[in-house]
Structure 1
Amino acid sequence: MEKSCTMLVHFDKPSSAAEIKEALEEGDAAAKVRAMKQAIMALLNGEQLPTLFITIVRYVLPSEDNTVQKLLLLYLEIIEKTDSNGKVLPEMILICQNLRNNLQHPNEYVRGATLRFLCRIQETELLEPLIPSIMSNIEHRHSFVRRNAVLAIMSVFKLPGGDILLQDAPEMILGLLDTESDLSTRRNAFLLLFNCAQDRAVEYLLNNLEQVASWGDILQMVVLDLVRKVCRTTPEQKGKYMKIILQLLQTNNTAVVYECAGTLVSLSSAPTAIRAAANCYCQLLQSQSDNNVKLIVLDRLMELKNTQREVMQDMVMDVMRALGSPNMDIRRKTLDISLELINPRNIDEVVLTLKKEVVKTQNRELEKNGEYRQMLVQAIHTCAVKFPDVAASVVHLLMDFLGDANTASALDVIYFVREIIETNAKLRESILQRLLDCFYQIRSSRVCACALWIIGEYSVDVATIESSLTVLKDSLGAVPFYSPQGDEAHLPGAAKEQEKQQRPAVLSDGTYASQSAVADGATASNTLPNLRAVLLTGDFFLGSVVATSLTKLVLRLFDLGAPEEQRNLVHAEIMLYVVSMLRLGESPLLPHPIDDDSTDRLTLCLSVLAKVEDAELRSVWLKECREAYSAMIAEKQSRDSEDLKAKSSVTVAQADDLIDFIHLKNRKGMTQLELEDEVATDLQRAAGSLNALGDNERKLNRMLQLTGFSDPVYAEAYVTVHQYDIVLDVTVTNRTQETLQNLCLELATMGDLKLVERPQNYTLGPGDSKQIRANIKVSSTETGVIFGNIVYESTGATDRSVVVLNDIHIDIMDYISPASTADVAFRNMWAEFEWENKVAVNTTITDVQSFLDHIVASTNMKCLTPPSALEGDCGFLAANLYAKSVFGEDALVNVSVEKQPSDGKLSGYIRIRSKTQGIALSLGDKITLKQKGPG
């Protein structure tokens, strides 16, 4: 729809002008309603109905039906009221007379609807004769008429020359505010003063400070808008308006409280103001039941956390009350905010709250307990890494969940245990003993593998090794694992094999077993020890981990100098277990045979067990493995501390800053808030020039030229991307010596972009400039294109002229930012996401590390692979990159690149995965464009 209209009418099929005209001339009120709807939709869809106007004047204007009159106003709104020169058409005089009659109509609905229509008229010539009738409606008995009369006066006041036509309007509106009882009318009246006579609005507000708290919510919202505007234009008067904001904070209306908090944050950085705003947000977080409202409030708290971390650290427990919500997005965002606010003062309270929440997840009636428990475990892990002293109070509680049916949650627990047992030597003995006690409950293969590694590495004395061997042997059961004479019933597929043969099973003593006996054996396999049950499913990777852990325990017995008889017995038993696992791999009844990697690993364990006396071999297995893991943990902690420093790298004070002694200031009756605000304002004023210079530099970098210098109209745009909104500030300059009329900026979008409103027409004199603002909504992370043209009419030209604009490409880099995630979460997302874009490496860069650095810089992503894993000069590199968009989308990238020995060029692939197609394709296009090299 090219023409604007304030109402959409259902449109089935178009009617001809003759049919519409006939219905208007001969039909009743219902037929006229249908005909008017057809006429309105035809005009909105670009059809021309020049002969219809006189018919409507003759047959529709006299109608007394309210619906017909409403449709008549819509029709009058969309028809062309001016000629090609911008002059009002003569026949519009007929409309003026009808509008004057409507403004004096005894029916208040007709008056109010006509006044609302006048708010959308931009032609001063049509409104000028109606002004006395508009002003007279301010004193109408019905509030519906009065409130629309005020809006009509405001719209006339904003037109060119409107302030001259309505010179006495502000005084009348002030008198109306003193006597009016209808809240909506008072709100419209104050809004008129706010927009058209700001000094009068400020005067009225200051004269009625005591009554502001009793005003209605919609009027209080306008008051807050006025306060924001006045405080930005005259910051020195901020103190007296702060009292109004604090007064409105005590109201019961949640919308007003929310706006008050936002106003406080935008106007002041004083700790008292920030604390008051944060308190309001936390109260809204508790009192509101709408999840969308809670998410919006959490976003505001996140912004406060980024700018006022010290104040927000005292509010962390109030923020964590939002964990009581069952919504996972709210819980996740709450934990993200809380974990960045922990410090030595509040860590104990935070961890205690997290422990209580973990205990609550044992209630099986609650939904998504496993996912929530996983989030809590990760949060506790983060707390324990930052503050190791709290690990002792949580690690034993979390180990109760190692047997959790949610594998992801159990994995997070075991990874947490693995890191704590390495970094906290005092807890090693108790953690290991607790792990051995609950090892029988673990049924997940991946959790078992990590637990086995911990047992093999940290069993460092003879007594602990004996306990560990006992637990592992009980979990494995008796050997052999596979026996053709009878134990095959425990294997998967054994029962199916028996059913296929349909004959009795022959036991080792020569007797026959019935079919029910075989079924009983299959059922019994469900009660097998945990390690044996997993091994019998064909998981030989776990078998190799079992063999490795058992081998380490044997080697450590020899290293500790245990009695020879004990060593030899354990040595023989472990070799028997390894051989039994190799024999199990040859069973034809398993789902698949043993893989080559597991065979090699088991064979290696046998070779090592055959050379247990070799001291150098024991050093490799018992010392260097632990040292490698210790180095990995130290590097991880170093990277985490660097990230933390980068997030909090805010200059508190410069060496030559002025020292401000607040207690020596002349208070002059100022409140604590006013005093703190004055100090903060002085500091901002001192640093304001540098910030303004930086803003100007960034603005120049984002300026785009839309037309050429030789075009009759020159245009350039400044693009501002703010999360879901794109704002185009287009400066248009008339480079000709003629007046350009009906100049319009016509824009269109491609991709997930949507133009919010169509810019209006303007008239530009010779050499004049005009700044036009266009708002565009963004719905997903996708590279979009904005294109369009400038259309105008010049004197002497019969046709409209068009200047085509250069395309504006919205870069995906404006939406994504580097982020971190755990390796487990990265792998889970990689397996889950369905959209993949595979880009072949094609670059002039010859060094693999330089190519990775270039890709990281070009895509605004973070490399998750630690630097130690990228070291070396093997000519091959594989790394994982991660970023997060402002819409919460995850972007995963895997870079696998190899240097060819023949020509030294790089080859390989860059794989992008995401949940949505847009980010995968757009990021792939960005990499394809940028991967050539810096040149």
Structure 2
Amino acid sequence: MLIYNDKQSTASEIKEALEGSDTEQKILAMQKAIVLLLSGEQLPQLFITIVRYVLPSEDHTVQKLLLLYLEAIEKTDSAGKVLPEMILICQNLRNNLQHPNEYIRGVTLRFLCRIREEEILEPLVPSILANLEHRHSYVRRNAVLAISALCKLPKGDLLVPDADELIERFLGQEQDVSAKRNALMLLTQHSQERAVKYLFEHLDQLAVWGDILQMAVLELIRIVCRTKPDAKGKYIKIILALLQSPSAAVTYECAVTLTSLSQAPTAVRAAANCYCQLLVAQSDNNVKLIVLDRLQELKDKHRDVMQEQLLDVLRALSSPNLDIRRKTLDITLDLLTPRNIDEVVMVLKKEIMRTQSADSERGPEYRQMLVAAIHSCAVKFPEVAASVVHLLMDFLGDPLVSSALDVVFFVREICETHPALRPSILERLADTFPSIRASRVVSCALWVLGEYSASREEVEAALGVITAGLGPLPLLQLESEDDADTAAAKDAPASLPSAASMGGSKRPAVLADGTYASQAAVVEMPLLSVSGPLPPNLRSLLLVGDFFLGGVVAASLTKLVLRLGSLGVPAASLHRASASAMLAIVAMLRLGESGALPTPLDDDSRDRMGACIQVLAAPEPDMVKVWLDDCRAAFSALTSDKQSREAAEAAAESAKSYAQPDDLIDFGHLVSNRKGGLSQLELEDQVTSDLARATGLAEAAESEARRLNRVLQLTGFSDPVYAEAYVTVHQYDIVMDVTVLNRTNETLQNLTLELATMGDLKLVERLQQYTLAPGASKVIRANIKVSSTETGVIFGNIVYEGSGYAERSVVVLADIHIDIMDYISPAVCADVTFRNMWAEFEWENKVAINTSITDVNAFLEHIITSTNMRCLTPPRALEGGCGYAAANLYARSVFGEDALVNVSVEDTGGGRLAGYIRIRSKTQGIALSLGDKITLKQKG
């Protein structure tokens, strides 16, 4: 019990309240006494008061609190003998077991389940057994629990020698489902033969039993099959029959039991089908997430069977929860095969069409997930690209920029890998381009138009798209002072308002003829009212100061004009196109240098636009080759490198499921004839069991070797108590198995392990005390909860009492450091997602590079290995001997936290590396812990 008590009462105050006649005051006093006992206080002076004033009370709440008090107090002395005053309690317990009220009997029986002192229980056994025939089912079911607790005691066979026969007879006569369940569980634990006999005698009634009784049957089957694996076949048939139960809990447990007992394809297929039905039938999102986790485990072990159930798994996409949809898509993408890819893509296309009409607030995020899934499908199976690329291009103008970026990256990759689709993609892109309003999406779309427009018609169409996107030139309007309004009204198109009416910023300028004029940049153009027509997309973005896009526009115009020249068009047309391109570039330069925009023209964009003008004015063969061929070759190499890496990862993943040359070949007909006719399920289970026995020893040896490597020594060899711990980290839980060895010649009493934690670690329970004989050992298990990815420390003592010591002795334990590497694992995320998270996360830890490693690439590889992260930067991008490297690393923790790392390292000469490692995370703990890990490990 975990009870918050800000102000504890004294023993005298509690005693005074107990001696009064007010029942409410007695209840409060008993609660305070129980809280003090649970806090470690001993209150021996209250015992007689409670016997005199609380035992006679007839109030049910007081009696319940009395039992809680009796459970918490010490019932034995230092030698382990029961205290004499407990005789008074035994008489009261006997009276309660014979009380006319069934509630008093029931709670007393439940209390006896938690008593371990046999001297207290022995005189109560006849009264406990008599309650098996009580008229009320509440008493009978608790009587069975009390008998089960008696049987678990060391002398349980002496206290209730005929418990098995008694419970078997009770089970045959009982009608209450809960009582029958408790009785069956007792027989399962203490007499499996009787439990199995009862099960097969009533097998025809199994379908109409209650769900809790069916769950008890499943527990019986699990226990029996562990001890008698040869008899699994007939029990698996019972589980398959229980799969038809109307209870969702029973069917889930059936599926879990099936997969734990048998690896036969028929059993796995039945379990997967059960999970899929639960996925659709259950409305609770937590249940669906748990079922998806089970399906994920089945996918890892039985990929072939799960591929058959893939379309059933996809039905979970109907849930509005994004986590469920994300897990479903992750499972789906791992199970794609040439046989099911068409059906999967069809389902994804229907879902993405549904997001257009749905009014969900998180519809754009779901659409982004679907776009990414379709992209993965097209990369793995190029034959479906043609059927999805045109559908996805409708979402280039998606208001969610990350979704539109996924689409345009997909289009760019398809253009590179599928030359046959380029003409139709370019035509569709030209039609869709005016609706694109995101700068990064526009930049990538311009690159595609400039790089893959091959014919004269395609080049001219691309030039027309860019010209329409820029709108009428110049971008910077010049107005004479005399007729400013007239000139503005005359020169501006009908759809665009004048600079004067829009409040554009103005300043005096000197014209070529020496007269003064005012210049205005129409910076408010993107803020037009929704009712009016929108300005062209390129013009809108340029007029808010996006000059990086201006450089992309200039480069695309240059490529298109150069390609037009390589196609042999007439000189007049080529010169006209070149002049128009240079005019547009000059207009962008004048806009940037006007000073009227909030963002000035940066040097990089100015140099790029100037280089484009120089190339257009005097194209040289070498420069034309760089623009038209080398740029494409660089992207082709990057794409092929990405495909080869993905193919290698997929091959390594799928190699686990391939049959090996020395695998056992089972001939079912021969086995059936030899064994006298077994069912298909029994044949499959027999074969998989043989394989498990054949390979299990190697797996067990490997597991034991891993376990020995993780043993931590907590005390010295000369200490009177030697202790070592094996720490298991499993997501949110840390389990410490501490082995304690008494190295003295004395019996150590009240030995306990006292632990404390630092960081986001919390002890779940208080550890009990033990008595250790000379040379004896004991394994003490401590459970610790973890709430975040931080490096925590566990420290503590072993406290004990020796026979020759008046005071307690203490052995200090070595500290146990919980490493962050146990919580994080390498993960993959898109470049756009990485950049968005980098901009969003507020916690940053900057670590200066200080290492003895002299090679840039070797240092980067060392950091990747030390931090257990994945490098998102392609290997080809890290090639070369420039002495500088910049890479992005990414990992996710078991708590769903993202860890982002950017490594920028430079060889300064003389064998010295310099630079910084920047870590970003949403929480401070993971940023600091990773920084400490890198600081410790970076020297190599």
TM-score range, shorter chain: over 0.9
Aligned counterpart, 1:722:
730
Q: 1:894 aligns with which of 902, 905, 910?
A: 902
Note if 1:295 corresponds to 2:289.
yes
Structure 2 residue ranges without an equivalent (≥5) = none
Contact 1:559 1:618 in 2 (8 A): no
Q: 2:613 aligns with which of 606, 609, 614?
A: 606
Q: 1:759 is aligned with what amino acid? A: L
Structure 1 residue 759: deviation in Å? 3.0
Q: 1:289 is aligned with what amino acid? A: S
Note if 1:53 corresponds to 2:61.
no
More displaced 10-residue stretch of structure 1: 31-40 or 248-257: 31-40
Q: 2:844 is aligned with what amino acid? A: E
More displaced 10-residue stretch of structure 1: 234-243 or 720-729: 720-729
Aligned ranges for residues 247-262 of structure 1 at < 5 Å?
247-262=241-256
Note if 1:331 corresponds to 2:325.
yes
Change (3 A) 1:69 1:433: same
Change (3 A) 1:413 1:168: same
Structure 1 residue 152: deviation in Å? 1.3
- SS of residue matched to 1:898: strand
Q: 1:922 aligns with which of 919, 926, 929?
A: 929
Contact 1:285 1:297 in 2 (8 A): yes
- SS of residue matched to 2:569: coil
Note if 1:14 corresponds to 2:22.
no
Aligned counterpart, 1:750:
758
Aligned counterpart, 2:656:
650
Summarize deviations over 1:398-448 as a string: whole Å, max 9, x none. 111111222111111111100001100110111111111111111111111
For the residues of structure 2 that align with 1:619 and 1:540, how far apart are their CA atoms?
26
Structure 1 residue 252: deviation in Å? 0.6
Note if 1:152 corresponds to 2:146.
yes
Q: 2:371 aligns with which of 370, 377, 395?
A: 377
Change (3 A) 1:403 1:10: closer
Change (3 A) 1:534 1:701: same
Contact 1:881 1:894 in 2 (8 A): yes
Note if 1:830 corresponds to 2:835.
no
Aligned ranges for residues 292-441 of structure 1 at < 5 Å?
292-363=286-357, 365-441=359-435
Contact 2:504 2:524 in 1 (8 A): no
For the residues of structure 1 that align with 2:401 and 2:73, how far apart are their CA atoms?
67
Contact 2:788 2:895 in 1 (8 A): yes
- SS of residue matched to 1:913: strand
- SS of residue matched to 1:789: strand
Aligned counterpart, 1:663:
669
Aligned counterpart, 2:159:
165
Aligned counterpart, 1:549:
556
Structure 1 residue ranges without an equivalent (≥5) = none
Aligned counterpart, 2:643:
637
Contact 2:525 2:535 in 1 (8 A): no
Change (3 A) 1:512 1:765: closer
For the residues of structure 2 that align with 1:548 and 1:511, how far apart are their CA atoms?
34
Summarize deviations over 1:715-751 as a string: whole Å, max 9, x none. 2222222222222222222222222222222323322
For the residues of structure 1 that align with 2:757 and 2:304, how far apart are their CA atoms?
43
Structure 1 residue 781: deviation in Å? 2.1
Percent identity over paired residues:
66
- SS of residue matched to 1:665: helix
Contact 1:492 1:536 in 2 (8 A): no
Aligned counterpart, 2:116:
122
Structure 1 residue 519: deviation in Å? 10
Contact 2:525 2:540 in 1 (8 A): no
Q: 1:444 is aligned with what amino acid? A: A
Change (3 A) 1:187 1:25: same
Change (3 A) 1:232 1:918: farther
Contact 2:404 2:441 in 1 (8 A): yes
Structure 1 residue 582: deviation in Å? 0.7
Contact 2:525 2:543 in 1 (8 A): no
Contact 2:303 2:657 in 1 (8 A): no
For the residues of structure 2 that align with 1:522 and 1:432, how far apart are their CA atoms?
30
Note if 1:795 corresponds to 2:803.
yes
- Normalising by structure 2, we get a TM-score of 0.94
Contact 2:523 2:543 in 1 (8 A): no
Note if 1:627 corresponds to 2:633.
yes
Structure 1 residue 215: deviation in Å? 1.8
Change (3 A) 1:389 1:888: same
Q: 2:853 aligns with which of 839, 845, 851?
A: 845
Contact 1:840 1:908 in 2 (8 A): yes
Q: 1:615 aligns with which of 607, 617, 621?
A: 621
Aligned counterpart, 2:816:
808
Q: 2:540 aligns with which of 515, 533, 540?
A: 533
Q: 2:918 aligns with which of 911, 918, 927?
A: 911
For the residues of structure 1 that align with 2:6 and 2:582, how far apart are their CA atoms?
84
Q: 1:885 aligns with which of 879, 885, 893?
A: 893
Summarize deviations over 1:762-786 as a string: whole Å, max 9, x none. 2222212222222222222222222
More displaced 10-residue stretch of structure 1: 257-266 or 780-789: 780-789
- SS of residue matched to 1:148: helix
Structure 1 residue 661: deviation in Å? 2.0
Structure 1 residue 248: deviation in Å? 1.0
Structure 1 residue 229: deviation in Å? 2.1
Structure 1 residue 500: deviation in Å? 10
RMSD over equivalenced CA pairs, Å: 2.5
For the residues of structure 2 that align with 1:82 and 1:492, how far apart are their CA atoms?
96
Q: 1:687 aligns with which of 691, 695, 705?
A: 695
Aligned counterpart, 1:782:
790
Aligned ranges for residues 67-82 of structure 1 at < 5 Å?
67-82=61-76
Note if 1:858 corresponds to 2:857.
no
For the residues of structure 2 that align with 1:511 and 1:688, how far apart are their CA atoms?
92
More displaced 10-residue stretch of structure 1: 628-637 or 394-403: 394-403
Structure 1 residue 262: deviation in Å? 0.8
Contact 2:18 2:49 in 1 (8 A): yes
Summarize deviations over 1:183-218 as a string: whole Å, max 9, x none. 111111111222233333233223332222222111
For the residues of structure 2 that align with 1:214 and 1:930, how far apart are their CA atoms?
63
Summarize deviations over 1:566-600 as a string: whole Å, max 9, x none. 11111111111111111111223211221111000
Aligned ranges for residues 554-573 of structure 1 at < 5 Å?
554-573=561-580
Structure 1 residue 495: deviation in Å? 6.2
Note if 1:574 corresponds to 2:568.
no
For the residues of structure 2 that align with 1:426 and 1:877, how far apart are their CA atoms?
37
Aligned ranges for residues 200-219 of structure 1 at < 5 Å?
200-219=194-213
Aligned counterpart, 2:266:
272
More displaced 10-residue stretch of structure 1: 78-87 or 349-358: 78-87
Structure 1 residue 397: deviation in Å? 1.0
Q: 1:96 aligns with which of 90, 94, 106?
A: 90
